[in-house]
Structure 1
Amino acid sequence: MTDTELAATLLAAYDAQMRAVQPVPAPGVGYEHDGALLRVVGEHRGFVTGPHDWGGLRDAALDAAIARQRDFFAARGEGVEWKVRGYDVPADLPDRLRAAGFVPKQQNTVVIAPVKELAVTSPALPSGVTLRRITDYADLDRIAALETTVWGTDLAWIATYLRGRLAVEPDGTEIYAAEAAGELVSAAWLALRAGTRFATLLGGSTLAQWRGKGVYRALVALRATRAAARGVTYLHVDASDDSAPILKRLGFTAVTTTTPYIWTPAS
């Protein structure tokens, strides 16, 4: 199979499974359908997803659907994210989102790998660094604080999100952290998607002073090993510009991009 054929095969699997099958909602989170669109309510902000052709919505009908989602969350005093993938149609969807007040944020690269083909070995960790699975809810606040420090924005909601995932699918989310002298230096988690052959690598955030030392790669290796043990076929990551090159070297293939378009209430 050529690289182009592999990318097409992986994208087809992603489209049929990851976009068609949603996670079991956490407590307090609800799913509402608006035609082909799926609206997620009750998280730290609203979220809109759907098939890559958005149910055939075009022109004025698409503008109206975008406005309905915006206005629904505006009435709740909440922001909303509409995630656009690079292969979505129509091509003018981003322009229509911008016209409705949605602002594009950092674009990530969707990378996927067949688990059995990953050549991931755990590198030697820096002296004093250990990996462990997180099971104590108190540690989730520490992970959220780490994520906030790494990304320079308030990510306290991650602790609530992870508690919710553990509440509804305790076997579907595995959370890991790297520690040095009692301090969290990196954290990441593995999320299995029930009803699919996929699992997603999430988190993967490392303090600046600990980057380039093998910590991130060790967490990838650990989660890939766990995914294989759980019978997963494909591993998926929405990779940042920092992570994508590392993951490609480990055997992941870039299949498309993903860009969050965010609408935020004026207040």
Structure 2
Amino acid sequence: MANADGHRMIAEYLAAYDRQLRGDVELAGAHDTASLGPLRVAVFPGGQGFIGYQHLGGADADGVRGLVDAALAHFASLPGIRSIEWKTRAHDHAPGLHDALIACGFVPEDAESIMIGEASLLVQEVALPDGVTLRRARSDDEVIAMERMHGIVFGHREWHARADEMIRRLAEDESMELWTAVVDDEVVSAGRLEPVVGTEFAGLWGGATLPQWRGRGIYRALTAQRAMAALAGGKTYLQSDSTEFSRPILARAGLVKVSTTTPYVWTSPVC
């Protein structure tokens, strides 16, 4: 792809991302929402506060600090707030935001790459190793097996609780699809597809593969399968926030990096 065409494509993807995946759409599932100037703030179950926006209204450093102070004051007025996430993006005009957040007690977590690709371009034939089959997880037992694998890969001792939460979400959201790669009824790789209502996007999340099965095309096959499912559901784009572990895999599957996102998290001293 010519360099100019590549830059144009990234700009188009990023514009679609900012327009469709930021703001109110990030607050789905929240039980309390409010607007503070350009900010959209919300409280999710468990006392998890969240701050999102499409832009900061052209604020200078003093204005940005004022927005941070206003957001903290808002959450301070609400009972039971245990943590607050301010989701930053590297391509935003946000002078002084890092310093303002640090000064107010927020701690940056690891940056992740914002990866986007056209679903139609990610549909490809991928040869699977002998004995590996792709399967959509629908039953409770299949979800439990998937989350057990996630627990092994990520070292999550609480994978049972994660399985219960995923079973609940699957029952409430019929559009979400869980896809697994299975060998002799053992899940060796998995990922989920989450269509975003009212947008052209579906999200790729929860990707993981057991170490002994990596580098054999299994996760690329799962990505292609989810791309086909997204197209069947009328979606144009696939998007994922990726760690440096998963970014190269998604890049090989056809997604491109358009920016980075870094969550800054404030935690209540009583937590």
| Alignment TM-score, normalising by the size of structure 1 | 0.85
Structure 1 segments unaligned to the other structure (5+ residues): none
**What is the DSSP-based 3-state SS (H/G/I as helix, E as strand, rest coil) of the residue aligned with 1:47?**
strand
* 1:175 corresponding residue in structure 2: 178
Write the mapping of 1:18-97 to structure 2, written as runs, cut at 5 A. Answer: 18-22=21-25, 25-26=28-29, 29-35=30-36, 36-42=39-45, 45-53=48-56, 56=59, 58-68=63-73, 71=76, 75-76=79-80, 78-97=82-101
- Segments of structure 2 that go 5 or more residues without pairing to the other structure are none
CA offset at residue 21 of structure 1? 4.6
Matched, 1:98 2:102: yes
- The amino acid that maps onto 1:95 is D
Do the aligned partners of residues 242 and 94 (structure 1) sit closer, same or farther apart at CA in structure 2, a change above 3 Å counting?
same
In the TM superposition, what is the alpha-carbon distance from 1:253 to its structure 2 partner?
A: 2.1
Number of equivalences: 262
Name the SS for the 1:22 alignment partner.
Answer: helix
Separation in structure 1 between the aligned mates of residue 102 and residue 248 of structure 2, nearest angstrom: 30
Give distance in 2, aligned partners of 1:137 and 1:68: 42
Q: Show CA shifts across 1:127-165 (max 9, x none).
A: 222211111134333333332322234564543543443
2:151 & 2:87 partners in 1: Cα distance?
A: 22
Question: 2:142 matched to which residue of 1?
Answer: 139
Q: Please show how residues 238-249 of structure 1 align to structure 2 within 5 Å.
A: 238-249=241-252
Instruction: Tell me, yes or no, if the aligned pair for 1:144 and 1:155 is still in contact at 8 Å.
Output: no
Find the counterpart in structure 2 of residue 187 from structure 1.
Answer: 190
- Is residue 109–residue 256 contact of structure 1 (8 Å, CA) maintained in 2? yes
1:174–1:191 CA contact under 8 A, matched in 2: yes
Say whether the 8 Å CA contact 1:108–1:257 is kept in structure 2.
yes
Partner of 2:228: 225
Structure 1 counterpart of 2:103, one-letter code: A
Compute the displacement of 1:215 (Å).
Answer: 1.4
Change (3 A) 1:191 1:252: same
Deviations, residues 186-218 of structure 1 (Å, cap 9, x unaligned):
211111111111111111111222211211111
Q: 192-201 vs 243-252, which deviates more?
A: 243-252
Q: State the match for 1:237 in structure 2.
A: 240
Whole-angstrom CA distance in 2 between matches of 1:77 and 1:94: 22
RMSD value over aligned CA atoms?
2.6
Gap change, CA 1:184 and 1:80, over 3 Å in 2: farther
C-alpha contact 1:66 1:100 (8 A) present in aligned 2:
no
**How far apart in 2 are the matches of 1:265 and 1:148?**
27
- Which structure's relative contact order is higher, taking Cα pairs within 8 Å and 6+ residues apart? 1
2:135 & 2:108 partners in 1: Cα distance? 36
Work out whether residues 52 and 88 of structure 1, in 8 Å CA contact, stay in contact via their aligned partners in 2.
yes
Q: Which residue of 1 aligns with 2:116?
A: 112
Q: 1:180, CA displacement in angstroms?
A: 2.0
> Percent identity between the aligned chains?
36
Q: Note if 1:257 corresponds to 2:260.
A: yes
Q: Indicate conservation of the 8 Å contact 1:197/1:232, yes or no.
A: yes
Asked whether the 8 Å contact 1:21–1:195 carries over to 2, the reply is no
